[in-house]
Amino acid sequence: MTVRPFALAAISLFVTTIGSAQDLASKPAENTPESATAALLPAAVVPAAVVPAAVTPPAAIPTPTIPDLRGFKAAADFKIGPEDVLDILVWKNCPELCRTIPVRPDGKMSLPLVNDIQAAGLTPSDLRQQLTERLAVYLPSPEVSVIVREVHSVKVAVVGAVKMPGHYEVNSPATVLELIARAQGLSDFAARDKIVVLRQNGATTTRIPFNYRKVAEGHDQDNFYVRPGDIVVVP
């Protein structure tokens, strides 16, 4: 059978078309609208793991410095001294026998019916007992109260090369540096590293060195507390 030329051309075109279709089917889709849209979309955002902020431990609470109170006696052991001011109250006998009385420099005080009585060197309880005994001669079962209103007898002396030497009342714990500050500071020619504190222990006097330079540089342990009756000597 004889095949005409136009028929051969048609068959060839048909085979070529099928091969092209098969090639397209075997290749991945490229440059399709869907692939273009997918390329424009951002990558999925994955939330980062939530990491808790580092917890800073609380700062350590500094240990408070406990002052040396051995030189300041408890109220029960407090002894009245010259220049202290006392409130004397006699129950049911005010205002005749009730007074606010300063202790004289000789250590005595005066009260009606009692006259002069030694107060310095006694505790308030001791003075109350003595007043009760003396007033019992004039009053039946007197009730006496002794109240220390003001304390002026507890003093520390600062002498030598300071701007205002003298006696300073110490009614609460105070350091050597604080006493020097009360004396308006050191003079220009003071020997700052040769300061001494004289402390009377019975019949013995103790010399305690105080180095102003070291304390000024931050050696706080050398800035100790004074005691009543101390004498700060600044050469």
pLDDT digit string, tens, across residues 163-184: 999 999 988 889 999 999 999 9
155-234 under CATH 3.40.30.10, yes or no? no
Asked which of 63-67, 105-109, 205-209 is least confident by mean pLDDT, the reply is: 63-67
Give mean pLDDT, residues 65-70. 46
75-150 under CATH 3.30.1950.10, yes or no? yes
Mean pLDDT, the chain, rounded, equals: 78
| Domain limits, the chain | 75-150, 155-234
Q: Is the peptide bond before 112 cis (omega within 30 degrees of 0)?
A: no
Determine the pLDDT at residue 172. 83
Q: What is the pLDDT of residues 76-119, one digit of tens each?
A: 578 899 999 999 999 999 998 999 999 999 999 999 999 999 99
Q: In this structure, which amino acid lies at residue 210?
A: F
Determine the pLDDT at residue 56. 58
Band (42; pLDDT cuts 50, 70, 90):
low
Evaluate if residue 3 carries a pLDDT over 90.
no
